[in-house]
Structure 1
Amino acid sequence: MTVVESGLPTLREARVPEGGMYEGRRMLRRVPEGWQERPYRRFEIVPLGRTIGAEVRGTDLSRPLGPALREELNRALLEWKVLFFRGQHLTSAQQRDVARHWGELETNPLLARGSSQDVVRFDKSGIAAPTFENVWHADVTFRERPALGAVLQLREVPPIGGDTLWADMAAAYDNLPQEVKDRIDGATAVHDFIPGFARFYGPERLAPLQDDFPPVEHPVVRTHPETGRRTLFVNASFTTRITGMQREESDRLLRYLWQQAHVPEYQVRFRWQPGDVAFWDNRATQHYAVDDYVPHRRVAERVAIAGDRPF
């Protein structure tokens, strides 16, 4: 140990890598500045995360949603980004009815159908094969109008594993360094379905859909149409490049932006039970299904709600 004239010990120089490990305390803001929070009168909210994720207690989704209940649930969705409802055990028709309160339903021709064209079924029977899991993403950002959100129900749950995580992409944007915000504010990025599905399907399946789903451009930072919050809107499944940048620079910046969903402070993790329902805002979140339950089976059904053009 070396002691200098001040009487304080000195440390040898140690270089921390650029953008290094020590981020410090993050700003975790759940709602926009100026947002007026009000009590919920028709159900109880139990927070599961600091900025994202809450369980809704006291609501039976199998019964029709009146306008007042729908309004309160929508406010909860905007404030918490993903809502969880335990033990609902909805039929496919009831699940569709819930989703229709938020708009028209949409289908995805690349995913297996459930009981109708509006219901997508994810059935993994314990075989160790590539699945739509283990990647952070927002749904169908390769569409001109990506999904508003989705209602997902677990029909069969493995005895251990099979959790789903969601990340708050408004919190992710809030905590970007100012120099990064300056680079991406006003920028657009290209989204394409090919990268997200090429690991599952060959050219013979994907090529005929290229005319139906050409690459589209969306803002790298979108403005939420209901809350006005700025959210990071690029993801590792479908975003291929930032418009106007050299490929190497674009790839480097995208890798950095994709990593923001990995920050635990922005996340909520949900352990499923049979009949549980999750309803998330696809405009404000990314999600990640954990593939850690082989050889057990996991069966989920999802109904997606059509969205609007990001701005």
Structure 2
Amino acid sequence: MAIAIRQLHPCFVGEVSGVDLGKPLASDEVAQLQAGIDHYGVLVFHGQDITDEQQLAFALNFGEREKARGGTVTKREDYRLSTGLNDVSNLGKDGKPLPADHRSHLFNLGNCLWHSDSSFRPIPAKYSILSARVVNPKGGNTEFADMRAAYDALDDEIRGEIEDLVCEHSLMYSRGALGFLDYSEEEKRMFKPVRQRLVRTHPAHGRKSLYLSSHAGAVSGMSVPEGRLLLRDLTEHATQPRFVYVHRWTLHDLVMWDNRQTMHRVRRYDQSQPRDMRRATVAGTEPTVAQQAAE
């Protein structure tokens, strides 16, 4: 069966059929999926019962794997996965849900805020590829916002105002919004703010998009309150229902998205029940703006 992609949302999101991601892809299949992710921003695959190794092999068709260091407060000796995938479950090394007061659990609740993966890195992530291994029985939908359509809907005055703005991104901003303020000196160094453009241009098709995230906590050249108010206003605009697709997970779904032109969040779910989600992250290739020490 040939690959087919059906649009799921008026703005973006394609549902892919006719491919088994557990098997190596032919070059023409990779090219079709590459064109699909460029166009739709989000690709949804159903019924993909794959291993960690197969998920990583699929991701490597689209670039190098992003190194995971610097995106968590979980100590290496406490990692549940050793396969190179990012663990975005609510599970500890013993395979059981983390206690409600566990530090890693509290930190990971930041994923419920709108964000773009790894915008807190000098070179942010290109693609994220998330596989549902255990689906929580209550809640846990993932929402995606089309940042291209959101940019297109801005009036000319606002576009002109934000065109050249640069923001500072850090995990300490997003987690601080939820009251997580306890960091070691090593973590503070690891989460040092980085600079990102507020408006990005996609290299494949040239469309502009807003580059927003809960990790953004300051705008260069603005006071902190003024910059955060602008970011809040833009986020409210970009996450209107007309720009948002809600993915309701079923077992063995796999969703791939382009972090350069979308934003996402997971919704609250029953943390006493297991939710096993594993992400392969494809590294970006260049910074959005020259990096320098954030003031």
What are the equivalent positions in structure 2 for 1:131-210 lying under 5 Å apart?
Answer: 131-198=109-176, 199=179, 202-204=182-184, 207-210=185-188
Aligned with 1:244 (options 202, 206, 221): 221
What residue number does 1:76 align with?
36
Q: State whether structure 2 residue 18 is matched by structure 1 residue 62.
A: no
What are the equivalent positions in structure 2 for 1:1-311 lying under 5 Å apart?
Answer: 42-106=2-66, 107-111=68-72, 113-116=79-82, 118-124=84-90, 125=97, 130=106, 131-198=109-176, 199=179, 202-204=182-184, 207-236=185-214, 238-307=215-284, 308-310=286-288
In structure 1, C-alpha distance between the alignment counterparts of 2:23 and 2:238, rounded to whole Å: 35
Distance 1:274 1:126, change over 3 A: farther
**Once the two structures are superposed, what CA deviation does each residue of 1:97-137 show, in whole Å capped at 9, x if it has no partner?**
01111111111444454532521112323865632432110
Deviates more, 1:87-96 or 1:173-182: 173-182
Unaligned segments of structure 1, at least 5 residues: 1-40
Q: TM-score, normalised by structure 2?
A: 0.84
RMSD: 2.0
Q: Which structure has the larger Rg?
A: 1
Distance 1:180 1:261, change over 3 A: same
8 Å Cα contact 1:166/1:268 also seen in 2:
yes
In structure 2, C-alpha distance between the alignment counterparts of 1:158 and 1:213, rounded to whole Å: 30
**Once the two structures are superposed, what CA deviation does each residue of 1:174-217 show, in whole Å capped at 9, x if it has no partner?**
1112221111011111112222345557222xx31444453221
Unaligned segments of structure 2, at least 5 residues: 91-96, 290-295
SS of equivalent to 2:62 = coil
8 Å Cα contact 1:136/1:287 also seen in 2:
yes
What residue number does 1:21 align with?
none
Q: TM-score, normalised by structure 1?
A: 0.80
| Count of residue pairs brought into register by the alignment | 268
**Once the two structures are superposed, what CA deviation does each residue of 1:64-84 show, in whole Å capped at 9, x if it has no partner?**
011110000010101111111
Higher-helix-fraction structure: 2
Runs of 4+ in 1 over 4 A off after TM superposition: 126-129, 198-201
| Aligned-residue offset at 1:257 | 1.1
